[in-house]
């Protein structure tokens, strides 16, 4: 209020006078307040120019699980250097701080893009473990198999009653002939596979570097499970051996690899491999 208009000689009401004074006072205080806000804003802008790092840390990027972990462990996230994208604090950062303290990484490291740099973790479920020579060889063979063969899976159920009857009859005949041979379904399947490979030679072959090599002889691999991994002893020239001989060699080679006597068996050169998953409940 700048003034009060009245007639000459008119008395000014005290309340109106006080109201005018209070309004002027309010305007002055508002102007002062505005000036203070302006000064504060200017100061904040100056600080931002002078300290970009502190401004960048005003907003902390942290994953939800990392935030919960930090709260549970009473950690100050303002002191944690995030190694994720945009300096995001991750679960691994919380674990590193818990194990090594807030100074687990240098300032230089925290400013670098570490999204593609392997970092050590204290999570025991993710710690790498070296492979023993056997498992290294298994990994190499499996990778080679995937890279060099066409993967195909077929399933078919058959009535094996007649096969089991044949096994029992043959076992009786071998026993009467004083041959100490224990026949198994694996032995009979091995013999069936050998006969099929001789009839359909294209299955006893290898494709490599644009060339299909068909083998005349059948060297049958028998995949054998061990506590340490998987080994494949090979029955050489399986197509020339009787059921009794196959049964004996399959049993003896499996026992040899399970006892660690790998020098007594051949582990390379199979032209075809079979295995028995019955022990795992597979039909």
Contact 220, 233 (CB under 8 A): no
Q: What percent of the chain has pLDDT over 70?
A: 67
What's the mean pLDDT in 200-211? 85
pLDDT of amino acid 179: 80
- Give 150-204 pLDDT, tens digit per residue: 778 888 888 989 999 999 999 898 888 878 888 889 999 999 999 999 999 989 9
What's the mean pLDDT in 204-228? 86
pLDDT of amino acid 58: 59
Residue 212 pLDDT more than 50? yes
- Domain map (residue ranges) of the chain: 14-55, 64-126, 133-148+160-280
- Give 92-102 pLDDT, tens digit per residue: 888 888 888 88
Q: Which two tokens stand for residue 212?
A: 């299909």
pLDDT of amino acid 104: 61
pLDDT of amino acid 112: 44
Q: How confident is the model at residue 226 (pLDDT cuts 50, 70, 90)?
A: confident
Higher pLDDT, 35 or 80: 80
What's the mean pLDDT in 226-243? 88
Query: Domain 133-148+160-280's class?
Result: alpha beta
- Give 17-66 pLDDT, tens digit per residue: 555 555 555 555 555 555 554 555 555 555 545 544 444 445 788 877 78
How far is Cα of residue 256 from the mean position of the Cα atoms in its chain? 34
β-pairing verdict for 272-274 and 220-222? parallel
């Amino acid at each position: 209020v700048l003034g009060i208009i009245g007639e000459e000689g008119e008395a000014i009401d005290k309340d109106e006078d006080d109201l005018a004074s209070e309004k002027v006072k309010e305007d002055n205080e508002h102007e002062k307040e505005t000036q203070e806000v302006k000064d504060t804003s200017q100061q904040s802008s100056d600080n931002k120019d002078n300290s970009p790092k502190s401004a960048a840390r005003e907003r902390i990027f942290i994953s939800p699980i990392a935030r919960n972990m930090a709260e549970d462990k009473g950690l100050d996230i303002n002191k944690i250097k995030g190694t994720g994208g945009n300096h995001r604090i991750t679960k691994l950062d919380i674990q590193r701080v818990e194990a090594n303290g807030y100074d687990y990484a240098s300032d230089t490291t925290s400013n670098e893009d570490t999204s593609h740099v392997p970092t050590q973790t204290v999570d025991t479920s993710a710690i790498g473990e070296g492979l023993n020579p056997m498992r290294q060889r298994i990994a190499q063979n499996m990778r080679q198999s995937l890279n060099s063969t066409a993967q195909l899976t077929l399933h078919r159920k058959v009535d094996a009653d007649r096969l089991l009857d044949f096994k029992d009859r043959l076992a009786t005949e071998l026993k009467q002939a004083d041959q100490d041979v224990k026949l198994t379904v694996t032995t009979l399947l091995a013999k069936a596979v050998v006969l099929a490979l001789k009839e359909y030679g294209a299955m006893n072959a290898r494709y490599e570097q644009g060339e299909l090599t068909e083998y005349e002889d059948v060297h049958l691999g028998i995949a054998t499970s061990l506590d340490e991994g998987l080994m494949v002893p090979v029955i050489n020239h399986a197509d020339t051996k009787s059921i009794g001989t196959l049964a004996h060699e399959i049993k003896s080679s499996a026992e040899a690899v399970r006892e660690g006597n790998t020098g007594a068996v051949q582990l390379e050169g199979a032209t075809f491999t079979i295995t028995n998953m019955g022990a795992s409940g597979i039909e």
